[in-house]
């Protein structure tokens, strides 16, 4: 018979003492993890001892990502979980490769700029399907097993755009706002089970895709450091660190929230935004 969730949470807190994160024996699935923030999260979880399933749309992209990760973390326990989770077939491939997960990180997402009145219905649907419904579908697959076992972590990677809607990509902002609601709702579904469900509000982050996005907005002739400063000054002046966040900084928070140390944090929107959102509460 399992201990009550409250007792397990208290015991986890007592054992934590020093900040030591050990995810040995846990299996994690990170969607959209062949590059950028997702890849940094996969590496961070592997370094903490988790067995990490790396997901991308094609087997080729996943294999290439695994080669890079194993070079950077030779002792890491990685496995391939290719599949486009926006499709039923791809979702089945991923969950067949990883039938059981203790940690689910819904990182997959698309973004891009477009004038508000030029966003057609198909584009609105694509952003909602990719950024919101893929997370819902993954949670439906893995949450029942977590609650049955009495332990689990679900995190949905959101964005400052969920709170501060960018005029140049309101369809993206809408999808990330919806993801905050999804996280809070499923946290209630998992109430009292020992499973924690949260969203992570990532601020403007330095990835390859963001570099292209920045150059589209400020010009492609500028050196990168100058282009980044111009972007932050013109398009993200609210940032208190006045630079793009590195993916590893997002990953550090995700690893913590995936650990027993975060047993009392659920239903929350945790900010790793460089102070971008001008608020003293999440």
Long-range contacts of 17-24 (CB under 8 A, 24+ apart): 19/261, 21/48, 21/255, 21/256, 21/259, 21/261, 22/48, 22/49, 22/259, 23/48, 23/49, 23/50, 23/103, 23/255, 23/258, 23/259, 24/49, 24/50
CA dist 132 → 19, 164, 192, 248 (Å): 33, 18, 25, 23
User: What domains, with CATH codes, occur in the chain?
Assistant: 23-205+247-272 (3.40.50.720), 206-244 (no CATH)
Q: What is the pLDDT of residues 82-111, one digit of tens each?
A: 999 999 999 999 999 999 999 999 999 999
State the pLDDT at residue 282.
Answer: 72
Judge whether residue 1 has pLDDT over 60: no
| Catalytic residue set | 172
10 Å Cβ neighbour count for 281? 6
Q: What is the pLDDT of residues 49-86, one digit of tens each?
A: 999 999 999 999 999 999 999 999 999 999 999 999 99
State the pLDDT at residue 13.
Answer: 47
């Amino acid at each position: 018979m399992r201990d009550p969730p409250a007792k397990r949470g208290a015991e986890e807190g007592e054992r934590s003492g020093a900040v030591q994160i050990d995810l040995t024996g846990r299996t994690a699935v990170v969607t959209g993890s062949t590059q950028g923030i997702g890849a940094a999260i996969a590496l961070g979880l592997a370094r903490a001892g988790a067995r990490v399933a790396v997901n991308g749309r094609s087997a080729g992209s996943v294999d290439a990502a695994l080669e890079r990760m194993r070079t950077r973390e030779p002792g890491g326990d990685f496995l391939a979980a290719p599949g486009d989770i926006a499709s039923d077939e791809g979702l089945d491939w991923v969950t067949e490769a990883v039938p059981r997960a203790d940690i689910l990180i819904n990182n997959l997402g698309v973004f891009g700029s477009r004038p508000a009145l030029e966003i057609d219905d198909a584009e609105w649907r694509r952003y909602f399907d990719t950024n919101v419904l893929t997370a819902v579908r993954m949670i439906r697959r893995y949450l029942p097993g977590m609650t049955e076992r009495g332990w689990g972590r679900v995190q949905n990677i959101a964005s400052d755009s969920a709170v501060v809607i960018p005029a140049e990509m309101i369809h993206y902002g809408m999808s990330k706002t919806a993801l905050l609601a999804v996280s809070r709702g499923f946290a209630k579904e998992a109430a009292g089970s020992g499973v924690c469900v949260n969203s992570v509000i990532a601020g403007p982050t330095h990835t390859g895709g963001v570099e292209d996005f920045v150059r589209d907005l400020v010009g492609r002739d500028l050196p990168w450091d100058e282009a980044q400063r111009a972007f932050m000054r013109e398009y993200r002046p609210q940032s208190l660190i006045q630079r793009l966040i590195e993916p590893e900084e997002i990953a550090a928070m995700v690893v913590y929230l995936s650990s027993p140390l975060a047993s009392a944090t659920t239903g929350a929107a945790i900010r790793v935004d460089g102070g971008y959102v001008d608020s003293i509460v999440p």
